Amino acid sequence: MTNPELDKYKVDHLFLLIGENPLPNYVAAKTLLKSGGKPYLVYTEHTEGAANKLQEILGTTENERVPLERNESNGFKIQELIKQKVREIQKQQPSQSFGLNYTGGTKAMAVHAYQAFLNLGLEPKPKFSYLDPRSLKMLIDQKAKPCPIDIMDNDIRSLLDISFERLFDLHDLHWKEDKPPISSPCMINAAKELLELYLQRRDEIAESYLKWSLDKDGLGKAKNGKFWRNENHLENVEIDLSKLPERVIIVLKKHLNLTSNKFPLRIAKNYGFKLISHFCDWLNYGWVEHYVLSQVQQIRNLKIDETAMSFHIEDSDNPDADWDKFEFDVAFRRGHQLFALSCTTSIHDDTCKEKLFEAYVRARQLGGAEARVAVICPHYDPNRLEKQMKVLTQDRKIAVFGKKHLRKLSQSISNWIQDEPY
């Protein structure tokens, strides 16, 4: 699929300044190159890892690399190395078009790479571009003012060939093979009823629910409460719900079709769970994430490309470890833009702030400055908490969805995406 406006600015050879986050470089390579065109990776010793991963994903060769080594601030060296590579290309392929995308790299790299292309006197003239994280537009330099190309345009989004898996792979991160993200929420009606209990009677049920633990039934819960013994062990376990709050038991018995407080885990898969351990997570407050994911999937007025929950990212230094390097509760993607939602039943400032800040750091690591982050919680004053977090992070795009938002969460998230009041 092509876009006539974008096609005017595509080139045969695109130089990319590589920064710590390779995502903007990937977007530029996918959108600004002609068919058969080649990207050239201009990187320093500090960003060699990102360049290596881009080379692997984009399928480039060693010949399409411009290593600056430790010369990220050496203007003379930057210009000489880029000019040298351009002349090398021209000898083999004369009369071809060139471009520079200066989204990544240092300021010195951007200035001197730009100057190098101007000094070369190329015909046709080189195309200069920058991916603006605020507007989500690719800005093409023009004499008067930049020409903005909307990267969220459906035709352009189809060029990106990106997914959650590709997004993580760009950063050399991978989820555990035995714990891939969950894309289909389960027992949504039960989750809605439990949420309603928390909205109406939180003081009555929260403390006793929090004290209750599946570990008492011998499931081998780890310290962080997220890992269970193997599926074969769980097949033979019958859990006792009797120590849960009475109102929670009523909801569970209704939706699990129980006549007693005993539930044999072997039948958990009958309720949509691919793994019994997924049901265990659901019962230990994972129902919040299932509810939030279902609300995201109800958004119809905006094109959302991918949604999932329970991202368990493995520690590459110790892939067999029981722990995760980090987690995302719920995430969705529009084109290359990542939205990360952190979920909690806590109403306490410190816990909500911690959840939001952790998600913020990871989302920015993966999705760059374009990423947006929110915490979903039953907090009574989300506006105050949001203002505090915006001051702390100096980021106006974060959000706190509290008690007043939860019943109509899909509409609130939709408004947030569109920068409308929520």
Residue 167 CA, chain-centre distance (Å), reads 7
Q: What is the pLDDT of residue 223?
A: 43
Q: Does the pLDDT at position 45 exceed 80?
A: yes
Q: Does the pLDDT at position 188 exceed 90?
A: yes
Nearest to 307 by CA among 315, 317, 299: 299
Q: What is the pLDDT of residue 222?
A: 45
Q: What is the pLDDT of residue 304?
A: 94
Residue 370 CA, chain-centre distance (Å), reads 10
Listed in sequence order, the residues at least 6 apart from 194 whose beta carbon sits closer than 8 Å to its beta carbon are 248, 251, 287
Confidence of residue 405 (pLDDT cuts 50, 70, 90): very high
What are the boundaries of each domain within the chain?
Answer: 4-161, 166-422
Alpha carbons 228 and 88: distance in angstroms, whole number: 57
For 166-422, the fitting CATH number among 3.30.460.10, 3.90.1300.10, 3.40.1350.10, 1.10.1040.10 is: 3.40.1350.10
Whether the model pTM is above 0.85: yes
Q: Report the chain's terminal Cα–Cα distance, integer Å.
A: 35
Alpha carbons 115 and 119: distance in angstroms, whole number: 6
Percent with pLDDT over 70 in the chain: 93
**Any idea how long the chain is?**
422
Nearest to 47 by CA among 77, 17, 76, 26: 17
Query: 83-97, 113-127, 139-153 — which is least confidently predicted?
Result: 139-153
* Structure confidence by residue, pLDDT tens digits, 313-364: 886 666 555 556 677 899 999 999 999 999 999 999 999 999 999 999 989 8
Work out the mean pLDDT of the chain and round it to a whole number.
Answer: 90
As its CATH architecture, domain 4-161 has 3-Layer(aba) Sandwich (3.40)
Task: Using alpha carbons only, give the angle 273, 197, 310 rounded to the nearest 5 degrees.
Answer: 35
> Quick check: 4 and 31 in contact, CB under 8 A?
no
Q: What is the pLDDT of residue 325?
A: 66
Q: What is the pLDDT of residue 225?
A: 46
Confidence of residue 217 (pLDDT cuts 50, 70, 90): low
Q: Does the pLDDT at position 13 exceed 50?
A: yes
Structure tokens at 387: 């203002």
Parallel/antiparallel/unpaired status of strands 127-132 and 137-140: antiparallel
